[in-house]
Chain A
Amino acid sequence: MVRIGMVYSRARVEEKMLLDSAHQQGIELVPVQDDQLILDLDPGALPYDAVLERSVSYTRSLYILRFCRAHGIPAINPYEVAATCGDKTETSLRLRQAGVPTPRTKVAFEPEAALTALDQLGYPAVIKPTLGSWARMVARVDTRREAEQILEHREQLPNPIQQVYYLQEYVEKTGADGLHRDLRAFVVGDQTIAAIWRNSPHWITNTARGAKASVCPVTPELNELCLKAAKAVGGGVLALDLMETPQGLTVHEINHTMEFRNSVAPTGVDIPGLILQHAVREAKQ
């Protein structure tokens, strides 16, 4: 039987669901909290046939995955996938190179350049950190004056990565009911296993920020686009964020350490079970 290490930071609902599912499926899943990890240049610190990487810290996850790569331990997801998906700029570049529809995006380093880029994109627009998740510090700006204020605040932040201005066209996603809506689709290996619509009175539609999930059918069109986008970033176990536009679906973000607690019930899909089965397939046999 393969032995899978689940490296995690906090025992969230997802980690408990994975452990419960492993128990039910007879899969050996060993929880390893990243706080306790001591990694070594010599193999042995991660004595597993595969590592399911669930650290909540992007920084820690990249280092853990570097060791997995160096020691030949299959990781879900591999270092290259995490490095790509964790950086919105890299994700956007990969999507564009692969011909996947994605919102118009520009990157600038100085406020004046960012303002010029925003003029080119047109208002409203969205200013995002290139690194970051859960929609933290994502700002919709409707005017140049608003953008100046956001950029002025971002300039004061101590981390230089916050002065990498990832600027994107704003995609209107308000439905007839007045709610904002986007899609989240879950890809495991070569299949789009489930999708949800995320509905919110706020333009930020993360379920972590209060959006309500409802099941979205996985049509052949959605499946084909999701697999193409997943392949563009290296594939694996991924959660894709998409928006509906008059021209069709557009992919704006791909997450490599997916949260799924709010998606199992509406879709009826055993997401943790399918993640584990993928990990077993990827493991050293």
Chain B
Amino acid sequence: MSQTLQQTTTQATPNEALECPECAAALPIRPTLAGELVDCKGCSAELEVVSLQPLLVQLAPTIQEDWGE
């Protein structure tokens, strides 16, 4: 895991509340898929669920040059 990823990722176990990696506000989310996007109610940051087990979120990447439909 890169240094950048470590700094912008938060993790929670099933018994813990997940925090926003940007503002530390509680994230009351129950994602069912990796790759889901959630907005933090505290700071409006766009977050991406990068793992379900363990539950990990990080700041969503900005749109890349080759993204699209």
Q: Does B48 contact A (CB under 8 A)?
A: yes
Q: Does B42 contact A (CB under 8 A)?
A: no
Among A51-59, A102-110, A215-223, the one that faces the other chain is A51-59
A9 neighbours in B (Cβ, 8 Å): 35
B49 neighbours in A (Cβ, 8 Å): 11
Q: Are B69 and A10 in contact (CB under 8 A)?
A: no
Q: Are A57 and B69 in contact (CB under 8 A)?
A: no
What number of B residues sit within 8 Å (CB to CB) of A? 15
In Å, the complex CA distance between A12 and B69 comes to 12
In Å, the complex CA distance between A134 and B63 comes to 11
B65 neighbours in A (Cβ, 8 Å): 131-132, 136, 159
Prevailing SS type, chain B contact patch? loop
Q: Are B67 and A134 in contact (CB under 8 A)?
A: yes
B33 neighbours in A (Cβ, 8 Å): 11, 15-16, 19, 31, 33
What number of A residues sit within 8 Å (CB to CB) of B? 28
In Å, the complex CA distance between A33 and B69 comes to 16
A58 neighbours in B (Cβ, 8 Å): 66-68
B35, B48, B50: most-surrounded residue (chain A CB, <10 A)? B35
In Å, the complex CA distance between A131 and B33 comes to 29
B39 neighbours in A (Cβ, 8 Å): none
Q: Are B50 and A258 in contact (CB under 8 A)?
A: no
Q: Does B37 contact A (CB under 8 A)?
A: yes
Interface of A with B (CB < 8 Å)?
Answer: 8-12, 15-16, 19, 31, 33, 35-36, 56-59, 131-134, 136, 159, 239, 255-259
Query: Could you pull out 15 A-B pairs where Cβ atoms are within 8 angstroms?
Result: A11-B35, A12-B37, A15-B33, A16-B33, A19-B33, A36-B34, A57-B64, A57-B66, A58-B68, A131-B65, A133-B68, A134-B68, A136-B65, A256-B69, A258-B69
Interface of B with A (CB < 8 Å)?
Answer: 33-37, 48-50, 63-69
The 9 nearest A-B residue pairs measured at CB: A133-B68, A11-B33, A11-B35, A58-B66, A11-B36, A255-B69, A10-B35, A59-B66, A33-B34
